[in-house]
């Protein structure tokens, strides 16, 4: 779950990371009230979960209530790369000498934590990595040992931050690592981390992505859930209790079991397709679950074909096939479906599908042939559009 900047800064503050004082506003009047409280000059910042807000005109300096009124009017309702601004964060403007970068994330490949620090902050780190990879100091951290003081110092030294920023940056890195671990985040990023003319270091931006698997031990995350940005498909899936993640491809996917669902994404990619989603319907693939799953897939305008990949264990093949046939009585599906059933009573299941087969309902014996057929149908539908 991704946090908005203001939430990320509140999260940082809990771990003692210095941030500027500020407040949120959903209206222009609130923006002025908050600015009066915070003290001028202030920065009016669009709250959207996408980078490059500054370049898009979503971050403005205001020296007076009139300027806040003008900027808040422009920014509230603004579209930034497909995200509508519903809320602004007002904070006391900072004087900046230098902009740095700092982050901790999980390096799944290395099975270690990864810390990154750079003296080239304020621009997207991907850009720095492409143009000048040597400008990013990296350090893998064994989660069992944690981040030693010497590790934090070496990151700051290797990144060649200005001398006067060293102590402040080391202190923030240690706190940021605690925020990452104890705060159960997958990513904590400060870009820019700034050095002020009077020699203080603090976080000017905050990007925090929380690990959903740790939600059970964080009752306080409920407030973040409440403001979470979900697209229409994800909202519907959540309301139906389905394990769904929206992606950007054209092949809708339904599978039983998270592992099989992930393998299905891989196989669709392998045969040249691109998945529209991850959807795990779990153990009981009965008609109502199948109807719910198809309904969610149906709301996705990018879907051109659907792959249903079921391995029968406790759930038997004929139950799944009957579920699909019954679901089709409830949901008018826009795209052709290819179904692969294997495992317990697969033969019986396939026989039922065979009896109902049409251009819209195709049974395939293997995962690979089913994926190939689904991708072929997606490509065909794309050409016909
Ligand atoms: P992003 O563009 O979405 O990453 O938004 P940031 O919060 O990182 O802000 C972008 C840029 O705006 C920063 O790199 C700064 O250069 C500038 N900026 C943001 N807040 C302040 C501030 O308080 N004072 C000054 N002088 N510049 C700021
Ligand atoms: Mn930023």
Q: Which atom of ligand 1 is nearest the CA belonging to 121?
A: 14
A 10 A CB-CB count for 57 gives: 13
| DSSP tag of 177 | H
CATH class of 21-92: alpha beta
- What tokens does 323 get? 């579920």
Which residue(s) pair with 98 in the sheet? Answer: 195
User: Which helix (H) or strand (E) segment is 263 a member of?
Assistant: helix 258-270
SS3 category, 162:
coil
Measured CA to CA, the distance from residue 71 to residue 76 in angstroms comes to 8
Ligand 1 contact via 192 beta carbon (within 6 Å): yes
Which sequence spans correspond to the domains of the chain?
21-92, 98-220, 232-384
DSSP 8-state assignment for residue 221: G
CB 122 within 8 A of CB 144: no
* Cα separations in angstroms, 101 against 81, 272, 362: 23, 37, 52
Domain 21-92 shares a fold with domain 232-384: no
Query: How far is it between the farthest Cα atoms of the chain?
Result: 78
Cβ–Cβ < 8 Å for 251, 380: no
Which 3 state secondary structure label does DSSP give 323?
helix
235 CA to middle of ligand 2, Å? 28
Pocket test of ligand 1: the residue of 3, 46, 54 to mutate, having most ligand atoms within 8 Å of its CB, is 54
- Report, at the CATH architecture level, how domain 98-220 is classified: 2-Layer Sandwich (3.30)
Distance CA(181)–CA(158), nearest Å, equals 23
Pairing of strands 305-312, 337-343: parallel
Residues with catalytic roles: 101, 189
Q: What is the pLDDT along the chain (385 residues), one digit of tens a residue?
A: 999 999 999 999 999 999 999 999 999 999 999 999 999 999 999 999 988 899 899 999 999 999 999 999 999 999 999 899 999 999 999 999 999 999 999 999 999 999 999 999 998 899 999 999 999 999 999 999 999 999 999 999 999 999 999 999 999 999 999 999 999 999 999 999 999 999 999 999 999 999 999 999 999 999 999 888 888 898 899 889 899 999 999 999 999 999 999 999 999 999 999 999 999 998 766 778 888 999 999 999 999 999 999 998 888 889 889 989 988 888 888 899 999 999 999 999 999 999 999 999 999 999 999 999 999 999 999 887 7
53 lines ligand 1 (CB under 6 A): yes
| 87 CA to centre of own chain | 19
Cα-to-centroid distance, 169 and ligand 1 (Å): 18
Tokens 């209790």 -> residue: 241
Residue 157 in tokens: 């030294």
Nearest CA to ligand 1 atom 9: 54
Name the nearest CA neighbour of 58 among 94, 83, 23.
83
Residues in CB range of 352: below 8 A, 6 or more apart: 318, 321, 322, 325
pTM: 0.80
For residue 297, give the nearest of 328, 340, 324, 334 by alpha carbon: 334
Q: Does the domain at residues 232-384 carry the CATH identifier 3.40.50.261? A: yes
């Amino acid at each position: 779950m991704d946090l908005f900047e203001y939430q990320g800064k509140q999260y940082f503050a809990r771990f003692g990371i210095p941030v500027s004082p500020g407040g949120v506003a959903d209206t222009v009047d609130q923006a002025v009230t908050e600015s009066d409280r915070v003290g001028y000059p202030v920065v009016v910042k669009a709250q959207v979960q996408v980078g490059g807000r500054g370049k898009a005109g979503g971050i403005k300096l205001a020296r007076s209530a009139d300027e806040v009124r003008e900027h808040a009017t422009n920014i509230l309702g603004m579209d930034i790369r497909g995200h509508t601004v519903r809320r602004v964060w007002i904070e006391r403007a900072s004087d900046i000498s230098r902009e740095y970068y700092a982050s901790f994330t999980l390096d799944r490949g290395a099975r270690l934590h990864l810390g990154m620090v750079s003296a080239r902050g304020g621009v997207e780190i991907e850009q720095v990595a492409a143009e000048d990879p040597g400008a990013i100091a990296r350090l893998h951290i064994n989660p069992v040992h944690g981040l030693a003081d010497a590790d934090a110092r070496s990151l700051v030294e290797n990144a060649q931050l200005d001398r006067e920023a060293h102590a402040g940056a080391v202190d923030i890195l240690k706190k940021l690592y605690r925020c990452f671990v104890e705060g159960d985040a997958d990513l904590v990023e400060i870009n820019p981390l700034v050095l002020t003319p009077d020699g203080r270091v603090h976080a000017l931006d905050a990007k925090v992505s929380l690990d959903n698997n740790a939600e059970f031990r964080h009752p306080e995350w409920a407030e973040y859930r409440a403001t979470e940005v979900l697209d229409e498909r994800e909202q519907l899936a959540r309301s139906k209790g389905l394990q769904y993640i929206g992606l950007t491809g054209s092949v809708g996917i339904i599978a039983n079991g998270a592992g099989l669902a992930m393998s299905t994404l891989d196989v669709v990619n392998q045969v040249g397709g691109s998945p529209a989603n991850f959807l795990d319907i779990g153990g009981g693939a009965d008609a109502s679950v199948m109807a719910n799953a198809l309904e969610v897939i149906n709301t996705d305008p990018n879907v051109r074909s659907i792959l249903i990949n079921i391995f029968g264990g406790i759930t038997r093949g004929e139950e799944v096939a009957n579920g699909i046939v019954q679901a089709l009585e409830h949901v008018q599906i826009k795209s052709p479906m290819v179904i692969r059933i294997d495992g317990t009573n697969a033969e019986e299941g396939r026989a039922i599908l065979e009896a109902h087969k049409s251009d819209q309902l195709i049974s395939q014996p293997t995962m690979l042939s089913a994926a190939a057929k689904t991708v072929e149908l997606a490509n065909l539908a794309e050409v016909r559009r």
